[in-house]
Structure 1
Amino acid sequence: MQPSKIFMMKMKQSIWKLWKSISHIVSVSFKSIFLIMSLLLEPLLVLLVSFTLLLHASSTKLLIPSPILQKEIMEPAIEGTKFVLMAAKELGVKRLVITSSSVAIGPIPSWPADLIKNEDCWTDVEYCKQNKLWYPAAKTLAEKAAWEVAEEENLDVVVVNPGAAMGAILPPTINSSMSLMLRLLQGCTETYDEVYMGSVHVKDVALAHILVYENPSAKGRHLCIESICHFSDFAAKVTEMYPEYQLPSLPKDTQPGLLRWKDPSKKLMDLGLQLTSVEQIIKDSVESLKSKGFIS
């Protein structure tokens, strides 16, 4: 059997397995997407075979502790990442860009409070499991799996670790990162103390993927975030820009042990990325929420 046929068959099986594993927690419309994807695989595969680049996008996101969804979030993230890398090897893809997350860099309670978190940090998976933080655990284990497969199979892999990606909303439903902004505008007092590290404009995340692909010098992990800050800093800026909304008053330090830093994305900046200011991130996010009817 030709490699492309094997890949298509395995991809269909993987999508069907994932669909069955989440069928009890997703809407009919979302389940339909997975079925449509399987029907569209063959024409898409023709394009994929000719690619020199493969982008592995983000997995299901859940930013607050949850007693459920361990299997639904962790298994697809880890096994799906391994499958994508092996399929890329089989198809001869030259460089893989993996979308990880800043939550694969922290939480890490043992990290010294006087040191800035960077690409050398890895989230404490056992801590996440104990506190039912399945998304950070899943992203961390998935990224580690990617590096293991890359080393074993001699694959050229590079990783982007975005913070809370905000800006214009393209799909009809809101994603988890933008839900932080929406809930804040609605008066929610949640501070995301274990997972928030800072925001980034979604267009900067897209450009970061292009830059690490096009630059052979790009190696390893790349933190993609406007600045390392506390959620209270972000909330204060939103309050300053949009005083008409009744935002909650949050403590000054909402992320225990997180040292603030203005240039955490130096590796990407050295490649030419000019990060969008937090003011513009907020403006684009709020205006997009308005245009989509989430807020008035």
Structure 2
Amino acid sequence: MTKIIEWDKGHGGIDSGAIGNGLLEKVLTHKIVEYAMAYMSANYTGFKQSATRKGDQTLSLNQRTDKANREGADVLVSVHINSLSSTSKGFETFIYNGNVGDATIAFQNLLHAEILAAMRKFGAVVDRGKKRANLHMVRESKMVACLTENLFISNVAEAKLLKNEAFLKAVGEAHARGVAKFLGLPAKKKPDVPKPIQKHASKPKEEKIVEDGVYWDGKKMARGQIGRVVILKSLPLWSPDKKKHRGLSVGDIITVYRINKTDNYKYEVGGGYTVSNVKGYVKYEQAPDDLIEANKAFYNEYK
């Protein structure tokens, strides 16, 4: 039977929600929900989903729960960003503090764990716990419902994460995975790709293990990486004492940690070694800003 999911974008229209560190709660919650819905559509089947707001609309709490109840949703997720003091921090979830069934508790447990795990890939995040409260969205909805508070907009360090699009995407997708696990939604079948005919027997390939981290074009970024150099013509790698260390070959891709502007813009590639910025011999590629920020967060460089 098709499951029905209702996503609630906390705040909208004239109600901006919390404001802090150059951010509006309604903008963040809308992005998280949109990432969640896109991930659901791309990865699962057996469901229908909708949001309480189609856009940046001003809607009352009653209008939003009435919509979910009218559509007979199986689950409702209300997404919010917290605000209190500049020292308040962390992630928490809420269900109704009245009579709730085992299903609601199980849903909160799954959703909470999935989102917290995704956040912690970007650095240490405080777990404020799975809580209960007399909140309208979880009280007046007639289905299993949970409200998430995704960090504090009032905290400078957490605001940096909330300004990171990669972080918002990860949080949205974690919301979707939690819902899919609770509802037992089947994964979409990937199209069969015919295997090439092997002329000679070969050893089976070992399963590739993907490590946690931030990836740029399929390769995990190193701590402190800002870019990479592609070698177009052979030239030497220079040692810390400015001697030729070894030759670099065409096609080599070298990780760059810093550009030394005081030394002819040489590329620092770790351990004191450098690659010269010679026109026609190297091509420098800067990592996207959002990946650099996500990589810093992953290695806890905001501490």
The TM-score with structure 2 as length reference comes to 0.29
In the superposition, the TM-score normalised over structure 1's length comes to 0.29
Q: Which has the higher helix share?
A: 1
Larger radius of gyration: 2
Structure having the higher strand fraction is: 2
